Amino acid sequence: MRVLILGGTAEARALAAVLDPRPDVHVVSSLAGRVSNPRLPVGEVHEGGFGGPDGLAAWIHGNAIDALVDATHPFAARMSASAAEVARRTGVPLLVLRRPGWTEEPGDSWHRVASLNAAADLLPSLGRRVFLTTGRRSLPVFAALDGLWFLARSVDPPEPPIPGNVRILLARGPYTVEGERALIEDHRLDVLVTKDSGGSMTTAKLVAARELGLPVVMVDRPAPPGGVRLVTTPDAVVEWLGGLAADRRHDG
């Protein structure tokens, strides 16, 4: 069975590590190239994207792909929509692998919003020195807010020019609670803005915000495409692939 993983996440790498040694599976992991020097999964890797749904459909056909796993970032809505469209068009089975979102705990002060623009609208009522962890492409949404200062953390630098009220911090998780607490205290930050990405690599900032009493503006993740099955663990993907293989043997 030839499996294409649309990846770039820790879950995608874990899935590739499980599947690659198996003699009955050939796995290809696709990375869109949004991050320089990404963490590479084991096995065959396709880098650089496909050029939209048409390109993805052509690549799947040309490479005789039997199953498609969308294990992209929870906020990669365009890629997920393309995967769903291509699955409908080609008939290749699709499964979405998404880690669960974060859950508010006692002591948290979260303000959930539906979009980055809604987060920007809310911010002036919550603080003046902002810890911004929503990615380098989100910076223009916030940088024009008068009277606010931002510490914006991202893996890669944003495109210049950088507004004067923004300091860029380049870093890659996982992070520690002690480190996040020190970062907040050293920069006198009084509000955190983040996306509900889920996972354990960046939860330390939420713990630190809770301990220090910071409000958190939490941008909700987009809903997955309609009509697709969603699972939360690589083991569930392996089980799904086993069912597909059994169906193929039965049909054969």
Residues 78 and 84: their CA atoms lie apart, in Å, by 10
User: Which pLDDT value is given to residue 163?
Assistant: 86
Residues 244 and 98: their CA atoms lie apart, in Å, by 20
pLDDT tens for each residue of 24-48? 999 999 997 666 667 889 999 998 8
Q: 251 exposed, middle or buried (CB, 10 Å; 0-12, 13-18, 19+)?
A: exposed
User: Which pLDDT value is given to residue 32?
Assistant: 75
Answer yes or no: are the C-beta atoms of 96 and 230 closer than 8 Å.
yes
User: Which pLDDT value is given to residue 173?
Assistant: 86
User: Which pLDDT value is given to residue 21?
Assistant: 94
Confidence tier at 212 by pLDDT (50, 70, 90): very high
Residues 227 and 52: their CA atoms lie apart, in Å, by 20
Residues 122 and 93: their CA atoms lie apart, in Å, by 41
Confidence tier at 229 by pLDDT (50, 70, 90): very high
Name residues whose C-beta falls within 8 Å of residue 91's C-beta, 6 or more positions apart in sequence.
none
What is the model's pTM?
Answer: 0.88
User: Which pLDDT value is given to residue 143?
Assistant: 82
Query: Among 37-41, 123-127, 197-201, which range has the highest average pLDDT?
Result: 123-127
User: Which pLDDT value is given to residue 252?
Assistant: 59
DSSP sequence for 164-208: TTEEEEE--S---HHHHHHHHHHTT--EEEEE---SSTTTHHHHH
CATH number assigned to the domain covering 110-219:
3.40.50.720
Tokens of 127: 């603080």
Q: What is the DSSP letter of 156?
A: S
User: Which pLDDT value is given to residue 95?
Assistant: 97
The domain locations on the chain are 2-100+225-251, 110-219
Q: What is the mean pLDDT of residues 55-77?
A: 95
- Please work out, in degrees rounded to the nearest 5, the angle formed at the alpha carbon of residue 236 by the alpha carbons of 233 and 242: 150
User: Which pLDDT value is given to residue 169?
Assistant: 97
Q: What is the mean pLDDT of residues 178-186?
A: 98
Number of other CB atoms surrounding residue 225 within 10 Å? 19
Name residues whose C-beta falls within 8 Å of residue 81's C-beta, 6 or more positions apart in sequence.
225
CATH class of the domain comprising 2-100+225-251: alpha beta
Residues 224 and 34: their CA atoms lie apart, in Å, by 20
Q: Which backbone phi and psi does 209 adopt, to 5 degrees?
A: -60, -40
Name residues whose C-beta falls within 8 Å of residue 69's C-beta, 6 or more positions apart in sequence.
3, 4, 5, 6, 12, 15, 94, 95, 96, 97, 237
User: Which pLDDT value is given to residue 33?
Assistant: 61
Tokens of 16: 């590739």
**Is there a common fold for 2-100+225-251 and 110-219?**
yes
Nearest to 207 by CA among 232, 170, 175: 175
- Please work out, in degrees rounded to the nearest 5, the angle formed at the alpha carbon of residue 239 by the alpha carbons of 233 and 243: 145
Q: Express as a percent the part of the chain with pLDDT over 90.
A: 79
Q: What is the mean pLDDT of residues 76-98?
A: 95
